[in-house]
Structure formats: C-alpha cells, structure tokens
Amino acid sequence: MSGGFRSRSSKGDPTPETNRGNRHDAPREGAGDRRDERQRGDRRERNYGAERTSREAGDRPAHGARSDGGDSSAQRRISVGGGHQRASRDSRDSWDRHTGQGENRTRRGDRSERGSRGDRTGGGFRNTGRGKGGGFDRRNNQRGGRSREDNHRNEAPQVDLPRLTALSAIGAVFNDGAFGNIALPREITEAGLTGRDAAFATEIGYGTMRLVGVLDEIIGTCSSRELGKLDPIVLNALRMGAYQLLYTRVEDHAAVDTSVRLVPQKVKGFVNAILRQIQKKSREEWVASLAPDSEIGAIAFESGHPEWIARSYEATLESPSGAPVAANEVDSVTSAAALSVDTIAADAASEVDVDSAADTDPAGTEAATAAEASHDDSKHEREFAELRKALEADSQRPIVHLAAKPGEISADELALITGGEVGKYSPYAVYLDGGNPAHIEPVRERLAFVQDEGSQLIGRVLVTAPVDDDQGRWLDLCAGPGGKATMIGSLAAIDEAEVTAVEVAPHRADLIRSATEGLPVTVVVGDGRTVEVGSGFDRVLVDAPCSGLGSLRRRQESRWTKDEADIEGLTQLQYELLAAGVERAKAGGIIVYSTCSPDLRETRAIVDKALANLPVEELDAHPLVAPMTNVGTEKSVQMWTYRHGTDSMFFAVLRKQG
C-alpha cells in the first residue's frame, strides 16, 4: 500500500488505531441512558442532527441554482403558462364555484384516465420550491381578461387533480427554474393528494421531467410551430401527454383527452392533433427514428440523457479512475501497473518481429488480427454495457440513506427502530425504502440524519486516515449546507477534536450552525480560497462545488438544465480551493478532495494537477472504504450509483509534504 496506510476499520486486532475506529463506530458509553432520559421527558440541552437539504446525499445544488432550495419572492406562483393555474383544493373549488360544474369533476379514482396500478409508482423525492407563471387566476377567476365562463360556456370542465398537480410542478421547473424534487412534493401536498393519486402525479411529473429532451424531439417532429414559441402551458401539457402515451400504460384516449382539457379552448385542437400524431408510433419507433447516428448518442437518447453526459460517463468508465474491475482481474491490473521500461521495450520489439514475419506466415497473421479484432469488439460491448447501466441508474428511484450519529446511536439500533436495513459500506448507514424521514423519531431527536452513504464514507475517511501527531484541528473548507460537517463534527466529539467549517454563503452558514448545534464545530463565513482561519490543520476536507452529475437521480430534470460549459467554469475554482486546502494543512497533514461527479475534468484532472504543482503525495484510499470494491484502479475512489447504490461520488486522499 502506497503512503503507509493502515486501515482503521472497526474490526480487527486491538491496536491503538483499531480502538480509535471502534470509538467512531459505536455509541458512546451512556448514550442509551441519555435516550432513556429523553423518552422520560428529561431532554438535554445538547442537540444533534442536520436539516434535510438539497445536498443531504452528498450533492451540491446545480450551478447557479438557489442552494437552500427556498423560494424567491418571484417564485410564489406555479408556472404552467398564462396565469395562475394552481393544483390546489382552493383552485379546484374556485373553478367549481365559478362554472357551477363541480359535480362533473373527474373522480380521482377513475382508472380509465389514470392508468393501471403498476404505472403509478412514487418518485421518492422531497423538499419544496415554487415558481411563477400561469394558468387559472383564482384571485379574480380570469385568464387574460376573459372569464372561464366566456371561454368554456358550452363545456363542463373536469379538473383532473393529479395531472393538474404534475403540470403545475413541470411549469415551475422548466419555466421558473425551481427544483423538481422541491416543486412536485409541495404541489402534491397543497393539492391534498394521497395514496394512488399522489403516486400517479409523482410518476407523470418526474417521468416528464426526466425525459423532457426526448419528448421535445418527438413533439417538434409533429408540430409545425417552433416549441420555443408555444405558450408554456401548451408545451408542458404536450410533454406530459406524450410521456403518458409512450412511457406508461395509460389508455391512449385518456392520455390525449385529459391533456386537451388542461389547455385553453383556442389551442385544444392543436394539442389534440399533435398527440394523435405521436400516438401513431410506439416508443421504440420514435427512438429509432430520432436518435443520433453515433452509438453513444443513441444510447444517451434511449436512456433520456443529453449526449455530452453520456460521453462524460464513457470517458470515466474507459479510464483507470472509473473502469470496472472484476475480482479476478485485480492481480493482473496490479502487475500491469508495475511493468518496467525494459519489459515494455521487449514487448515492442516482439510486436515488430510479428509484423516482419507476415510474409512467411500470412495465415497466422490473419488469425492473430481476427482474434485481436474480436477482443476489441468484446471490450467495446462491455464498455457500452457499463455505460447503459450507469445511465439507467440515473432514472431509478433512490432509496433514503440515514446516518446514525456516531456516539449517539448505532446503525443496528437505528435499523431496528425504523424498520430499515443496515448499510453495506458505512458503519453508520441505514437504508429506508420509503416514507418521510422527517417523521422518524431518531431524526426528530437528532440522533440520525439523512445523508447518502457515499458522503458518510468521505467524512469517515477524513477522520480515519492516519496522521502523525493529530492535534485535533480539522477543517471543512466548503461546508455548506452541513451534511458532511455534521458527520465530521460527531466524530470530532468522540476524538475531542475541533472543526472549523467554512461557507461562503451566509444563509448556508446558518444551515451548518443549525445542523451542528451542540457539536465542536465553529462556522466561519468566507471564501475558502481567501478566508482567514489560520493554518497547520491536521485534516482538511475540500468538498468542492461541482456539476452534480453524480446525483442526477435526485433531480430528474437537472440533466436537461445543466450545460457542459458549467464544468469548464468550475474546474478553476475546484483547483484553487484544493490549493487553499493544501496551504492550510500542516506538513504531514491529510487533505481529502471530493466531488459529487464522475467527470474526469472535475476529478482526476484536478488531483493530477495538484500532484504536479503542489507539495503533496497521493495515498491509496481503497483500504479506507473496505469492504467497498470496484472503485477504479487509481489510488482515488470513484463510486457509481449502479455499482454501489450511492451517488456517483469521487474522492482522493493527499498528504502534504515538507
């Protein structure tokens, strides 16, 4: 092992290092007594836990988006185009009172218009966010100065509340920049949807967001009008209708009819005609006719991704940083890495000899060439198989990962209380397959908090990587909104260490203070590159702002709202923050660099630049995440959602020299 690592796992021989690991992984003595006191009403002043935020699973908010997930003053209305069409009971009742047609409202249990039970699966997202824009103005019952009675004099409008709810959230996301995992749950709550209705709204809402780029290509083929010139409510209704036609088992007539009902009278015929056109082909036929010519482009289109994201994943999967490694290939990979210059030269000479023998043994040469081509084809297919898996994982519903707060409750206890499953890799992780974590007693009591298992591992790696003469001065240089700071602070309380947490945004700094209340964490507001916090830190975490490509499953629409140019703008910031972290570490201190992205430009390229220009050496991080395997063949660790169930996070461990 490079760098002299000794694994500090919670199991093994009782060396001082191992004992320290046990302190981290087990509740402190008396923790159970404190919980008993809480249950008796004798609650202590000290509080623990973390607010659930957009980075609770290791993800940072998308570049340029509000990082606290909150509302701006301009985001108090949901955008579905043209007015204020809100999917709430107030909106529905206002419509009924104005038209006198409440008795004609579609019953929410009508399966003919909602699809089979198998189609209405939940999305597993939470938190809230709002937008502005259109639809029905329930304040004065008007749209553009005309009442609904004028527009629908001869109609009996039937409000389909689940679809109206999904439409409102889609408008908020694509017209006002709200987060999908924030907007849709809020709309569902305000509409009073529960059970199958909530599940159906979740399915068509998140499904439309996830595939909007593909749906727009299909709609654009059928429309003589430019999509950008369509009223937002019309475009979003078309998107939602197309999704139901092609990606659910909702009856075609129901998908078309209910979509037509959602738009103004003057465009009903247009929407009906477009959806009837889409209905004529199957999903497979549409994908085959519209997918890009390149193989990667076709795979991306089929899976519902922009091509640049698929190419980013493929580049990492083909590199040592992220390539899959079977257990029986580890030794050969290690041996290949140790090849000497003389061995490589001998191999080159051997290749020359084979070429020169072509004239004397053409049949043998042809056979060798055919075998080589077959090997390349097989490797090619394996690589694309991995790419498909990685892309498909972005569309799967994430389960909730809880972190048992070190020193307060064990993962076994937390799993017993919640009915969850103990995690595979982090000693603090518990998996939940549904439900609202905010309603769980240990979360309310701040004995546990929501955090992706990959993020838990990064916090633990920072604390368990061996440092000579650790004085207990730890630094989290990019701490907002506080998930990793909470984990690190909890471990610091066990080790009697102190954590300085730096955050550039004041409102995010407040989130850290709330999350780490009662822990030995001092929050400082400032730019991590220039903030005055001193130097000589034993351990430094640089969890740099990134593209968030590793957590696309948590914000289904973000694959379409991100731009590749965002990455180019982030890489300089990432390197400068890492350089600042190295500067603040003591000689012999540990620096952990991490991102929630598998893109090589944000991961290995930053680390390699640091190795070339800064006084650091890279340590082998693999022993620190055991029993996790298949994390690449570099010394760094690249997790993948499809392999490990975590977000696709990256980290490297550096030691400052000098």
List pLDDT tens digits, range 401-442.
999 999 999 999 999 999 999 999 999 999 998 888 989 999
Distance CA 302, CA 367 (A): 36
Distance CA 519, CA 47 (A): 8
Contact at 8 Å (CB) between 212 and 557?
Answer: yes
Binding site as annotated, residues for S-adenosyl-L-methionine: 478-484, 503, 527, 543
* pLDDT tens per residue, range 42-69: 433 333 333 333 333 344 333 334 334 4
Distance CA 575, CA 544 (A): 9
Question: What value does the mean pLDDT of the chain take?
Answer: 78
Domain 76-300: which CATH number of 3.40.50.300, 3.40.640.10, 1.10.940.10, 1.10.760.10 = 1.10.940.10
- Judged against a pLDDT cut of 60, whether residue 70 lies above it is answered with no
Q: What is the mean pLDDT of residues 468-493?
A: 97
Distance CA 445, CA 534 (A): 35
- Judged against a pLDDT cut of 60, whether residue 460 lies above it is answered with yes
Q: Please identify which residue in the block is written with the tokens 């929501």.
A: 450
Tokens of 520: 């030995």
Q: What is the pLDDT of residue 202?
A: 96
Q: What is the pLDDT of residue 438?
A: 87
Distance CA 140, CA 128 (A): 26
Q: How many CB atoms lie within 10 A of CB 8?
A: 24
When pLDDT is cut at 50, 70 and 90, the band that residue 15 belongs to is very low
Q: Please identify which residue in the block is written with the tokens 């709810």.
A: 165
- Judged against a pLDDT cut of 50, whether residue 648 lies above it is answered with yes
Q: What is the mean pLDDT of residues 618-629?
A: 98
Q: What is the mean pLDDT of residues 71-76?
A: 35
Indicate the pTM of the whole model: 0.73
Contact at 8 Å (CB) between 317 and 383?
Answer: yes
Identify which of 3, 193, 140, 47 has the alpha carbon closest to the alpha carbon of residue 489: 47
Highest mean pLDDT among 71-80, 560-569, 634-643: 634-643
- Judged against a pLDDT cut of 70, whether residue 639 lies above it is answered with yes
Q: What is the pLDDT of residue 324?
A: 85
Distance CA 201, CA 188 (A): 8
Sequence ranges of the domains in the chain: 2-60+399-656, 76-300, 308-393
Q: Please identify which residue in the block is written with the tokens 């290791």.
A: 58
Q: Please identify which residue in the block is written with the tokens 């709002």.
A: 130
Q: Which residues are catalytic?
A: 596
Q: What is the mean pLDDT of residues 571-577?
A: 98
Q: What is the pLDDT of residue 433?
A: 87
- Same fold? 2-60+399-656, 76-300: no
Least confident of 358-367, 443-452, 530-539: 358-367
**CATH class of residue range 2-60+399-656:** alpha beta
- Judged against a pLDDT cut of 50, whether residue 630 lies above it is answered with yes
When pLDDT is cut at 50, 70 and 90, the band that residue 323 belongs to is confident
Report angle CA 348, 321, 337 to the nearest 5 degrees: 35
Q: What is the mean pLDDT of residues 364-384?
A: 61
Where does residue 118 rank: exposed (0-12), middle (13-18), buried (19+ CB within 10 A)? Answer: exposed
Q: What is the mean pLDDT of residues 5-17?
A: 38
- Judged against a pLDDT cut of 50, whether residue 289 lies above it is answered with yes
Contact at 8 Å (CB) between 426 and 403?
Answer: yes
- Judged against a pLDDT cut of 50, whether residue 107 lies above it is answered with no
Where does residue 527 rank: exposed (0-12), middle (13-18), buried (19+ CB within 10 A)? Answer: middle
Q: What is the mean pLDDT of residues 627-648?
A: 97
- Judged against a pLDDT cut of 50, whether residue 91 lies above it is answered with no
78 backbone dihedrals φ, ψ, rounded to 5°: -90, 130
Distance CA 363, CA 358 (A): 9
- Judged against a pLDDT cut of 90, whether residue 637 lies above it is answered with yes
Least confident of 306-315, 339-348, 496-505, 641-650: 339-348
Distance CA 89, CA 86 (A): 9
Cis before 481? omega within 30: yes
Report angle CA 229, 233, 234 to the nearest 5 degrees: 60
